């Protein structure tokens, strides 16, 4: 199975922990998190999740579609993207449980920053890991932003 098919096969409810690498306080902020994975009639897969930042409820959604050998996503999160969803793309990959997509966001007055989302639906867990990617002119390094790990409810 491709990573996209593996993720689609994990439809259902999941519980876990979301850990935000808080850029404001420079500490990890962990909260309980719920994840729902659903296959949609058009063949796409939707991940909806909840978490909290300093006790304030947050929610997000990833819509994934397979387009040949590419997976495209539309990601939105109340804390990260607000009212500006991010489009990300990546290879659907060889057989296995993991896939990775990349997008970017504006950071005026400087250059755009990158964003990477890794999804791994191997074994009895689903793992979502997100990275901030510095602009190439500033070194291009990747910094862990979010790590969420779930087990089936």
Torsion of CA 124, 128, 129, 133, to 10 degrees: 150
Q: Are 44 and 65 in contact (CB under 8 A)?
A: yes
| pLDDT mean across residues, the chain | 92
Query: Considering its fold, how many domains does the chain have in total?
Result: 1
- pLDDT class of 64 with cuts at 50, 70, 90: very high
CA–CA distance, 1 with 10 (Å, rounded to integer) = 12
Q: Is the dihedral of CA 75, 4, 39, 68 positive or negative?
A: positive
CATH code (residue 81): 2.40.128.20
Split at pLDDT 50, 70, 90, the class of 126 is: very high
3-class DSSP assignment, residue 122: coil
| Domain around 79 | 3-152
| pTM of the shown model | 0.93
């Amino acid at each position: 199975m491709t990573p996209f098919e593996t993720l689609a096969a994990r439809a259902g409810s999941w519980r876990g922990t979301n850990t935000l690498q808080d850029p404001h306080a420079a500490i990890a902020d962990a909260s309980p998190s719920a994840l729902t994975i659903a296959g949609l009639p058009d063949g796409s897969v939707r991940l909806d999740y909840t978490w909290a930042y300093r006790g304030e409820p947050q929610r997000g959604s990833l819509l994934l579609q397979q387009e040949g050998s590419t997976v495209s996503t539309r990601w939105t999160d109340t804390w990260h993207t607000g009212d500006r969803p991010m489009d990300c793309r990546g290879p659907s990959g060889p057989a296995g449980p993991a896939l990775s997509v990349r997008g970017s966001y504006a950071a005026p007055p400087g250059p755009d920053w990158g964003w990477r989302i890794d999804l791994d639906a191997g074994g009895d867990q689903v793992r979502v890991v997100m990275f901030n990617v510095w602009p190439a002119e500033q070194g291009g390094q990747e910094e862990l932003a979010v790590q969420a790990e779930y087990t089936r409810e």
